């Protein structure tokens, strides 16, 4: 059984546009990662910041979109809902950004954390998504 777009949007708290930005950024990241491990191509020399850059750009675009959406919702006088949405979006963006940043630093050898500590922001986000999914009305 597959999830519908409506269910994914409701559970993740993201719009379809934000999901598309994340998917496109992840596709470009995957292509750069595959090129990094191709033995015949030595363009990147394990420059993890360059490989992770599409994900960081996707986060920046999503942040910009969330700010625009917040301003528009404030102008429409739906202050309570706009604050809830901003809080959720900021939490989602902060935890995913922190995970990507820590992983990039770990892969470069600039950080002496264990991988369980690097993945901690994702664990927190998964817990929040689980709580959010349980609170949704069917």
Confidence of residue 134 (pLDDT cuts 50, 70, 90): confident
> Do residues 93 and 66 lie in contact, with contact meaning Cβ atoms separated by under 8 Å?
yes
Q: Report the half-sphere exposure of 138 (CA within 13 A, side-chain side).
A: 0
Q: At what angle do helices 5-12 and 16-36 cross, to 10 degrees?
A: 90
Confidence of residue 47 (pLDDT cuts 50, 70, 90): confident
pLDDT tens for 57-81 read 999 999 999 999 999 999 988 888 8
The whole-model pTM stands at 0.87
Whole-number percent of the chain with pLDDT over 90: 59
Give the Cα-Cα-Cα angle 75, 81, 87 (nearest 5 degrees): 105
What is the domain partition of the chain in residue ranges?
5-135
Whole-number percent of the chain with pLDDT over 70: 95
The distance from CA 45 to its chain's CA centroid, rounded to whole angstroms, is: 25
What DSSP designation does 45 have?
T
pLDDT tens for 9-33 read 888 888 999 999 999 999 999 999 9
């Amino acid at each position: 059984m597959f999830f519908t777009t409506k269910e994914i949007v409701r559970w993740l708290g993201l719009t379809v546009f934000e999901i598309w930005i994340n998917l496109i950024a992840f596709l470009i990241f995957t292509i750069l990662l595959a090129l990094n491990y191709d033995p015949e191509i030595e363009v990147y020399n394990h420059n993890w910041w360059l490989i992770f850059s599409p994900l960081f750009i996707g986060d920046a675009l999503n942040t910009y979109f969330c700010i625009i959406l917040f301003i528009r919702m404030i102008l429409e006088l739906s202050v309570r809902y706009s604050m809830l949405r901003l809080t959720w979006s900021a939490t989602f963006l902060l935890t995913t950004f922190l995970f990507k940043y820590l992983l990039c630093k770990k892969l470069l050898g600039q950080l002496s954390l264990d991988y369980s500590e690097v993945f901690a922001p994702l664990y927190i986000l998964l817990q929040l998504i689980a709580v959010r999914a349980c609170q949704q009305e069917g």
